[in-house]
Amino acid sequence: MSSPKPPKKTHSVVPGQTVTLEQVAAHAGVSPSTVSRILNGTAVVSPAKKAAVEAAIQELGFRPNPVARGLAGGRTMSIGVVTQIISSPFYGEALLGIEEQLEQAGYVPLIVSGHWRDVDERKALQTLLARRVDGLIVFAGRLSAADLLQEAAGLPLVVMGRQVQGPQAFSFSFDNRKGARLATEHLLAQGHRRIAFVMGDPVHDDAADRYQGYLDALAAAGLAADPALLTQGDYTEGGGLLAITHLLARGQSFSAVFSCNDQMAIGAAHGLRRHGLRVPDDVSLVGFDDVVLARYAMPPLTTVRQSMLDMGHQAAKAVLDQLAGRPPQVQLPAPELVVRDSTRRLAR
Amino acid sequence: MSSPKPPKKTHSVVPGQTVTLEQVAAHAGVSPSTVSRILNGTAVVSPAKKAAVEAAIQELGFRPNPVARGLAGGRTMSIGVVTQIISSPFYGEALLGIEEQLEQAGYVPLIVSGHWRDVDERKALQTLLARRVDGLIVFAGRLSAADLLQEAAGLPLVVMGRQVQGPQAFSFSFDNRKGARLATEHLLAQGHRRIAFVMGDPVHDDAADRYQGYLDALAAAGLAADPALLTQGDYTEGGGLLAITHLLARGQSFSAVFSCNDQMAIGAAHGLRRHGLRVPDDVSLVGFDDVVLARYAMPPLTTVRQSMLDMGHQAAKAVLDQLAGRPPQVQLPAPELVVRDSTRRLAR
DNA sequence: TTGTAGGCGTTATCAC
DNA sequence: GTGATAACGCCTACAA
């Protein structure tokens, strides 16, 4: 057997190394506290020592240990993120936005899924708290606002898609009602009168708001909403397929469908097709969110643009703001209808 | 109306609390080390004390602090995961699988994106190492195997989609070559002879392997591959669209397209449609992966099933195995062709 | 089997 | 400004 080759020391920068702050201090001829102060900007130090320390850090390739920092200072430089289903393109885009934004500030997202289940969300929050995350970003789920606030236990909290009032809670939503109204008005303007609505779980504010926007548009046009045209799904393609199938089985007739999100819209398109109804020739279809697949659906889906990437950015910015003691601010884009090929004027 | 129900306090369990191991020890009348031993199964303790400690843990609602554990014991109970793009449905499904599996073992994934960029992957690994993750799961990226191994610095490492040899590295791939051969054979069996291939970046083993499978099938049928029918994309819908557009611009004629992944296949379908070519009437189309959108594409996409959820499970199991000192084992499903509606017999 | 003591790498609180 | 000196919450020899 050959002799084990010693790890080549590039200077002293070796991956997996364990250069400590103490070593840096020794190397620079100062005390550990001084190094710490320079690292955190906690106090003013003399330029000379500062330079020496910075040189030592460079030379030794020192990186502060977040774990130790977490224990000592209580800051882990990580933000807990509660999504519902990590594999969903909807959440995926938002997570990307969050990650991008946090990275710049040296934070890392700790992502845990709630699976749309009360207990799982609660467990997720507890896991995150146990891990001592510095802040929380939560996507609207099933947990009550009160429970959410209680579990968050005073940590900076940003909630997307639901209003939550609390001392350190900041919540914001896309203007779902307006967006849904836009979508419905578009269909109305094309002459559609019997517009089916595929709702999400009304427990969620966004689903309820979008339904409200649909009603708004109908009312403004002097139309009454036909409850028989209302159906519900679980935000997935399969759910949309099921919902539209039920509607058709009930023998309802309609010339357009407005779905609470793109994924269900795409499922609905399949359901319609199975019943010999073509989109948009026989039935116009509008989604919501404008996830990537909306553009590549066949036909490309008319939808309401809600950039989840942007929402993710905003959410991350908001926690970061709270962490920095700044009042969180978000710049939400106005709802915008993206007209593609899944809608057309009602042939009379 | 009834009075607001007070949050049921289960004993003294309050979210955000900070019950320490020391308090548990005091409560149970034993030393901290004993509690620690019980928690970790490090040594045998008397049943009596064990019971007392467990009762105390229950009553106080104690949860060990992973941060402190990480500092003291060197185990953070977190696994670093390097994906390329977190928002991609492909990675999303795998992440879901990883998360599910890790959760059962009390581990949490720390997900960082490499964005298909050498530098970002390296940085991702460094971030993960700095955070003292206990193990690493890496999706094939652009970083060389040597660099990968060096950055991983001896940590248990599981690599998916690329072969990496190393003392503590374990890598596995789906049988891409076989899968691609299956897909191509399917098209050949339907009479197609001019089959375009939309490749991914050949730097990646899976892309290269799938191309090889395509060549295998062609060769077995006594056909030569026409280089003019080869095009390349970046795994996204947009990339597939572009790739097929280039191919058509070059004036190539073909009756079928095999795409390296589903997303590019869907983009390709759009490109074909724009040129007045219908799928499958004019051109048959096969994808690879069988992500959710394949089923809901229009027409539903014939593809090679590769359950990323399962791959995620396997990867997580493999790191867990390594962590437990067991030799990692994975059970990979055999490639399977899922025939849907995007392919049809060549009309002659 | 069980307890004591020291240490993991930083930050924070004191004095100087 | 700067440096000792405690924590932070847990693990792990070592001793008993």
Dump pLDDT digits (tens) for B221-248: 999 999 999 999 999 999 999 999 999 9
For B291-335, write each residue's pLDDT tens digit: 999 999 999 999 999 999 999 999 999 999 999 989 999 999 999
**Per-residue flag: A13 CB under 7 A of strand C:** no
Q: Of A108, A103, A107, A14, which is closest to residue A62 (Cα–Cα)?
A: A14
A279: nearest CA in chain B?
Answer: B298
Chain A touched by B270 (CB under 8 Å):
yes
Nearest chain B Cα distance for residue A169, angstroms: 15
CA angle B98, B103, B107 (to 5 degrees): 90
Interfacial A residues in 164-223 facing B (CB < 8 Å)? none
Torsion of CA B153, B156, B162, B164, to 10 degrees: 60
Q: What are the Cα distances from residue B313, in Å, to B31, B97, B165, B316, B329?
A: 39, 5, 21, 5, 12
Instruction: Report percent pLDDT > 90 for chain A.
Output: 89
- Sort strands A336-338 and A303-305 into parallel, antiparallel or unpaired: antiparallel
The predicted structure's pLDDT at residue A207: 93
B76: nearest CA in chain A?
Answer: A67
**Per-residue flag: B42 CB under 7 A of strand C:** no
For A250-260, write each residue's pLDDT tens digit: 999 999 999 99
Nearest chain A Cα distance for residue B88, angstroms: 7
Chain B touched by A74 (CB under 8 Å):
no
Nucleotides of C under 7 A from a protein CB: 1-13
Nearest chain B Cα distance for residue A48, angstroms: 28
d(CA A216, CA A181): 6
Amino acid, res. A335: P
For A198-236, write each residue's pLDDT tens digit: 999 888 889 999 999 999 999 999 999 999 999 999 999
Q: Which residues of B touch A15 (CB under 8 A)?
A: 125-126, 129, 150-153
Q: What are the Cα distances from residue B237, in Å, to B104, B264, B299, B342?
A: 35, 5, 15, 16
A-B C-beta contacts closer than 8 Å: 136
Q: What are the Cα distances from residue B284, in Å, to B268, B288, B326?
A: 11, 14, 46
Q: Which residues of A touch B266 (CB under 8 A)?
A: 293, 296
Q: Do B130 and A296 touch (CB under 8 A)?
A: no
Measured CA A59 to C1' C9 distance, in angstroms: 19
Kindly report whether the global pTM for this prediction surpasses the value 0.75.
yes
- Sort strands A108-113 and A78-83 into parallel, antiparallel or unpaired: parallel
Rounded mean pLDDT, A307-336: 95
Inform me whether the pLDDT recorded for B9 exceeds 50. Answer: no
For B186-198, write each residue's pLDDT tens digit: 999 999 999 999 9
Amino acid, res. A60: L
Indicate the pLDDT class of residue B348, thresholds 50, 70 and 90: low
d(CA A223, CA A165): 35
For B57-111, write each residue's pLDDT tens digit: 999 999 999 999 999 988 999 999 999 999 999 999 999 999 999 999 999 999 9
Measured CA A318 to C1' D11 distance, in angstroms: 37
Nearest chain B Cα distance for residue A215, angstroms: 29
Burial A282-307 (b: 16+ CB within 10 A, else e): ebbbbbbbbbbbbbbbbbbbbbbbbb
Q: Are B28 and B35 in contact (CB under 8 A)?
A: yes
Q: Rounded mean pLDDT of chain B? A: 92
B20: nearest CA in chain A?
Answer: A130
Inform me whether the pLDDT recorded for A180 exceeds 70. Answer: yes
Q: Do A86 and B68 touch (CB under 8 A)?
A: no
Give the residue carrying structure tokens 């320490």: B20
Q: Which residues of B touch A150 (CB under 8 A)?
A: 7, 15
Nucleotides of D under 7 A from a protein CB: 1-5, 7-13
Which residue in the set B85, B296, B299 is minimally distant from A267, CB to CB?
B296
For B14-60, write each residue's pLDDT tens digit: 455 589 999 999 999 999 999 999 999 999 999 999 999 999 999 99
The Cβ-side half-sphere exposure at B207, using a 13 Å CA radius, reads 18
Give the pair of three-digit tokens for residue B155. Answer: 């940590």
Give the pair of three-digit tokens for residue B174. Answer: 């789906």
Rounded mean pLDDT, B170-178: 96
Q: What are the Cα distances from residue B153, in Å, to A30, A69, A79, A225, B125?
A: 30, 22, 26, 63, 10
Give the pair of three-digit tokens for residue B11. Answer: 């004993």
CA angle A280, A285, A291 (to 5 degrees): 120
CB atoms within 10 A of CB B6: 6
Give the pair of three-digit tokens for residue B252. Answer: 């190539």
Sequential DSSP letters for B308-335: HHHHHHHHHHHHHHHHTTPPP---PPPP
